[in-house]
Structure 1
Amino acid sequence: MGEAELERALRETFSRRVDTPAPRRADPAGEVLRRARRTGRRRTLTGLALAGVATVLVTTGMVQLSGPGGRGGTPTVVLGDPPGLSLSPLPSEPTPVYRPGPVRAELDLLVGDQLDTSGGQRRELTGVDGVERAQRIHDGEGWLLTSAATAAGRTLWWVSADGGTPQVMLAAADAVAVSADGRQVAWRDGTDVVAASVVAGQLIAPSRVSAPTGVVPVGFTGDDVLIAQPGQGGMSVWRRAMGGVPGTVNPNVRVVYGTRPDGRLVALVTTGPAQRPCVALLDPGRGLTPTRTGCVAELTADGLGAVSPDGRWLLANGTGRTALLIDLADPAAAPATHPAGPKLVGPVAWTRAGVALHVDAAGGLVRVRPERVLAGERPTPSTIDGMAPGQRPVVVADTPALPDGA
């Protein structure tokens, strides 16, 4: 039955039920039909609305269909949580807090109890303080740190590259000397001078020799130990691998600054009745006999200084107010000297690229580049952030590069 036929049937039924044939102002059948149509429309709209709500819920969003002030415009999608879910915002990344990073230098720096490596890492060294010298161990095995002299003596710490708490290797030692590769240590122990190898934080295969009062180890030449006599008594070599006592003393040797690639030592010696200060190359295999000597009147004997990796340059203190860069190309002649910035107050460390680093009296880091010094530059200190008043960093000496094929 169609919609029109249903409408006519309803009208006829209602017409037969009335008592009078007069037309009525009300139309019961029409009212019923109109209600039915309204109900159908409402159901249709409700179905469409529910479908729209379901679509919005699936996409977890709501659509605003009018612009500002109720005017129609481009819909703006506002992402939100569907009903029944948490309305809390999604967790966001924390705002980064700026903290000054480690001091970057060509070599590692020890600032108080913090070790800042040249690679940008920072380590807290618990229990370490008063360090005077620091040396890397060959093959990146760690560091050896030597304290300044105190009433109780000196302390030597071993710091592993793998982390962990620094380990005390020596305590209350009268003097401590560390080889350039960090694998050998010599120290004064009571009436003896002792030397040993460093393996995984342990001192192994020690050698011991009785020594007069005041005799102390000051360095290494290969596996042999350099021994300084008390006062201005000179130096000798202790060939510990062969046993016995230190060799003949050369009374004219005051300071040994380092070793050249050919094995000869760069030293400060005095010559003649006037005891003139000179720079000499010494043969450690022949009782520290000089092979070449060039006198430098303005060089001091405070023991501070170091030789460049190629053996060409010596940075040491002059008698004036500056450090001196000394050209060792021909020590047989009077070596050329060049003012090279603030005086040394502690150890000097050379990079493998030939730049010398040291710290001045105010705690500033000084870089000495020979080619710039030759061009007339006077090195000046740069400030290191984060240091306490009166604090001075320690430049960590690098290990020498191995020869090709080694």
Structure 2
Amino acid sequence: MPGGWFGSEFNDYFRVSLRSQQGGGSAAEANSMNGLGLGQFDYGSGTTGWRELTLPVDKTGDTIQVDLGVANVADDLFDSQVVVDFVEEVRDQIQPSLTWNNTAGGMDLRYTVDNGDLKQAATIDVYWANGPGHANRLGTPVFSHSVPAGTTAGQHGPIRIAGNLLADNPAGVTHLVAVASPSRVGALADVQVAFGANANATAVSAATIDIVKDSLRAAGQRTVTITSTARTPADQARAMFQNLTNAANPVSVNVANQLALYAAPGDAVVNTFVQQTQGMTRAQILANAATIRAAMEQEINNQGPQNVSRHCADPAVVNVADLGAGAFNATNGPLFVNAIRPRVTRFLDERATNNCYHIEITQ
């Protein structure tokens, strides 16, 4: 009863602790008259309002130990009390899930209410995570959704999480998790950047990968493959030869496409291919690939490799990468382009000639 005694040495206190035998969890609260503050007490009765302490338990059954303590301090008068009014088992009713939205971009949050209509209002929080569980959460929620009491049993959603909320992730992220409670978690693997057989992963910086991943999330696109990165002159000759002999088009069409793509130094290499293959069929060109590519490589060195293609630039100065455009659909491809274009030094849409998006990022 704090009236007249609050702030004095007669600072009575209480403690309450809960422990779960099977679940292994614990929860506790302890405080004193002075620690609670005068505003927590009703002056007429000397009591506080009800305080709630909650403990997650094993859903298959559990044993809970409750320890209570209360003490007078500095005298044996005006005994303090702790009253346990009601102990209730509340079943988690919300199971969330996450999916990438490759139509509108970002993610979709869905949830199921089970065991009847929702008895208590709840919040679903979405976190970055370094694994699929509740304990793997990193930082604060990137998105929250309130579910009011009375929400009907069954499936609900989708609730869209815009792609612009999913940038600038902390280090170590492997998943995003939607959390309704410690035991009700929906996990989604983060977007992934893969490397093709002719791509050198060591030539692409972590900062470049972050930009690509942010743009994938904006597009709701689960994965993309980097098909080409920094190249040696020999590798540049291989790539150009491959494009010039693309079986989807006549060789003459491929030549026209490549001449439209490159500047004068690159055109000189394309023209070397034309000279070397004069009068040959596609089969004959492929049969003489080694000789033709050697001549093209020599011309690349003559022109200066970096003048022919930025793929031949020093990756410590500029990262150059081709991203396989076939991973995207007609809807989320533009979302990806709109997200990545402002963040790169140079962007080229090479879908018509090389089926890729070409990016350059100064380091």
With the length of structure 1 as denominator, give the TM-score of the two structures: 0.20
Bigger relative contact order, structure 1 or 2, given CA contacts below 8 A and separation 6+?
A: 2
**Rg bigger for which structure?**
1
Q: Judging by fraction of residues, say which structure has more strand.
A: 1
